[in-house]
Structure 1
Amino acid sequence: MTNRIKVFIVDDSAVVRQVLTGVLASDPQIEIIGTAADPILAQEKMMSEWPDVIVLDVEMPRMDGITFLKKIMAEHPTRVLICSTLTETGAATTMQALAAGAVGFVTKPKLGLKSFLSDSSSEMIRAVKQAAQATPRNFGRILPTASASSGATQGTTQAAPKAASTSMAESSNKIIAIGTSTGGTQALELLLTSLPRVCPGIVIVQHMPEKFTAMFAERLNSICELEVREAKNGDRVNMGRALIAPGGMHMRLLRSGAFFNVEVCDGPPVNRHKPSVDVLFKSVAALTRDNALGIIMTGMGDDGARGLREMHDAGAHTIAQDEASCVVFGMPKEAIKLGGVDRIVSLSNIAAEINHFSKDS
């Protein structure tokens, strides 16, 4: 982006508006074009000059942030960065926002807000710059109602167990490894809800902090035929099960005799991420050959590109999401440049590729 990134801040806290304005305006590539205490006032102000990025709180008077976000995405798709508290309630609301079209989020504590925002200035600036590179998309997805996802409304993080047939309790002899980041929550929802119950075991890294991955897995589990859960150390990779790496932890594939399971472990960030797609993909490459399918999807940066190349070189099938369907084409683009991709596929066609891989002997 050659011009400065135009940012509008919507938050009912005067302290947040003031501190965020100071933090973001300190970067010469960012211009704050306005602030508002609620979405209705924001709409009026933005009519004169529309922003490139909206930084949006979710709990506000007159109109909540989710309602405002859905309205914006329906009428004027815009890059929206959610500013949410690090609580289970905040995580659940953030999941709703990402499903409604937000391109990312930044977290804030309930206490010590001013000092936290100042200390996290570089992270805030980077988040806005990343959001500015995204392509806002409205996939038209609506989250389950409270009755369909009661755990989220009650603040629990345990995904409801699904009745499993004997075949579904079998260990998967094929592995599907997926890596994604910015835009990945929407993309994964569209993909996983398109897959049948009879499917090879899936291991997933979605860049997301602690608490958010559990809520994300719980929501997906409530709307997918597959069992979707946040991975725990030692979990077996079974048919019909998708395991999502926990935020703040790496996940590796391990083999135990005829079975695959996962190791969830701590360690330094890789490519600035924990969990890292490269950590997962490289572990899959070391254990599998043509019985693995690696899929790299929408996301910023190059995490996963080297790991996918290792999978490719080991004989695995590899897919990259195409640019037209990505929110950010960074991760797939880097994997393609490294020569680790067999096929470039639209998001809407990835489920068919998985089904083909599942049936191919």
Structure 2
Amino acid sequence: MAIKVLIIDDSALIRQVLTELLSRDPDIEVVGTAPDPIIARERIKALSPDVLTLDIEMPRMDGLSFLKKLMALRPMPVLVVSTLTQKGADAAVQAMELGAVDYVPKPLMNIRSGMVELGAELVAKVKMAAACRPRARQAEPGAPTPLAADPRLSTAGRVVAIGASTGGVEALQRVISRLPATSPAILVTQHMPAGFTTSFARRLNEQCALTVSEAADGRQVLPGHVYIAPGARHLELVRTGAHYACRLHDGPPVSGHRPSVDVLFASVAASAGKNAMGLILTGMGRDGAAGLLEMRRSGARCLGQSEASCVVYGMPKAAMQAGAVEAEMTLDRLAEEIVALRTPAHA
């Protein structure tokens, strides 16, 4: 059965181009379009689409307000179509925090030809979105209560590596916002293009007790800090004398991605060994499975997000099947495990 798509965009040209591109694929049926969220609400009721494509800046109700209401009342897969500006990147990251599963960049100029060039990506992401399982969330989610730190324990020398893809923005926000400022150093690879990771790191930094930033090449890795892999660059952990540091490079994609979770995990296995923890969160595909297995073989604690809590149970499933995952847990339990990864101060 074809995937039913509803397109929501105030631009008649964008609605037309998206309809043409998606309708070329026999597995996709565009069942309708809407110029704003008010009309979209009625068409969702009438047409029961499987996937929505959603513009952010629209009249009468902006896309973020609509998405917040939608995910509270009738959660469904939403693919954001956002402009390639810093404002657009900020809005797309916020949309993913609210439950959108992915994004497609909308070109600023030569819209028709630019969107045609993105046709294959658009089709692939609509099909991916159709396989996602968004869950209802509160319309105004409260900030999670940070977990308490044990003053008798030290995080010196401990490192946590986290890999995520589809659904990862919301999952990472849930985990990291619960951690105390005294948590171990955390390195994150989230599949994102350049530009979006800057917005993601900035927003996460505003929401958390830890210091969150994009990783920089050569930067020392410190407890209480979170380092996000920049879009389109691999992030590795290296040891420099008695300290850890970030290493960035532009090597070829690994497991189909740059940044790659496998690259991060393999480097952590080599540099930190049993002093590390690896977490594999929601996402499609197999990236991270091989690297997490290396971490487990090096003595690291290796955990996966539980199937029931994943938007897409792909990467954790692949890691579990590879024998890389010791146990699967909810996001809140994973946060508790990070807090427990601490070395006795006098050990």
**TM-score normalised by structure 1 residue count:** 0.90
Deviation at 1:140, TM superposition (A): 3.5
Q: Using the alignment, how far apart are the partners of 1:291 and 1:90 within structure 2?
A: 39
SS of the residue aligned with 1:23?
helix
State whether structure 2 residue 215 is matched by structure 1 residue 217: no
The aligned residue for residue 244 of structure 2 is 260
1:95 maps to which of 93, 96, 119: 93
SS of the residue aligned with 1:47?
helix
The aligned residue for residue 304 of structure 1 is 288
After superposition, where does 1:66-215 map in structure 2 within 5 Å? 66-140=64-138, 172-215=156-199
Q: Using the alignment, how far apart are the partners of 2:82 and 2:37 within structure 1?
A: 16
- Matched-pair contact (CA < 8 Å) for 1:248–1:275: yes
Deviations 1:95-125 (A, max 9, x none): 2211111111111111111111111111000
Q: Using the alignment, how far apart are the partners of 1:291 and 1:255 within structure 2?
A: 13
Deviation at 1:236, TM superposition (A): 1.1
Deviations 1:226-258 (A, max 9, x none): 001011111111010010000111111111011
Deviation at 1:288, TM superposition (A): 2.2
Deviation at 1:335, TM superposition (A): 0.2
The aligned residue for residue 160 of structure 1 is none
How many corresponding residue pairs?
335
Q: Using the alignment, how far apart are the partners of 1:249 and 1:192 within structure 2?
A: 22
**TM-score normalised by structure 2 residue count:** 0.93
Over the aligned positions, Cα root-mean-square deviation in angstroms equals 1.7
Deviations 1:142-171 (A, max 9, x none): 599xxxxxxxxxxxxxxxxxxxxxx9xx99
Deviation at 1:172, TM superposition (A): 4.2
Q: Using the alignment, how far apart are the partners of 2:141 and 2:214 within structure 1?
A: 19
Deviation at 1:46, TM superposition (A): 2.2
In structure 1, runs of 5+ residues without a counterpart are: 145-166
Deviations 1:175-224 (A, max 9, x none): 10000011111111110010011111110001111111011111111111
The aligned residue for residue 235 of structure 2 is 251
Cα 1:197–1:343 shift into 2, 3 Å: same
- Matched-pair contact (CA < 8 Å) for 2:155–2:343: no
The aligned residue for residue 226 of structure 2 is 242
Identity %: 48
Which structure exhibits the higher relative contact order, with contacts defined as CA atoms closer than 8 Å and separated by 6 or more residues? 2
Cα 1:249–1:143 shift into 2, 3 Å: farther
Q: Using the alignment, how far apart are the partners of 1:210 and 1:142 within structure 2?
A: 29
The aligned residue for residue 45 of structure 1 is 43
In structure 2, runs of 5+ residues without a counterpart are: 143-150
Q: Using the alignment, how far apart are the partners of 2:275 and 2:63 within structure 1?
A: 44
2:319 maps to which of 302, 318, 335: 335
The aligned residue for residue 280 of structure 1 is 264
Deviation at 1:139, TM superposition (A): 3.9
Q: Which amino acid aligns with 2:185?
A: G
The aligned residue for residue 150 of structure 1 is none
Q: Using the alignment, how far apart are the partners of 1:118 and 1:295 within structure 2?
A: 37
Q: Which amino acid aligns with 1:68?
A: F
SS of the residue aligned with 2:221?
coil
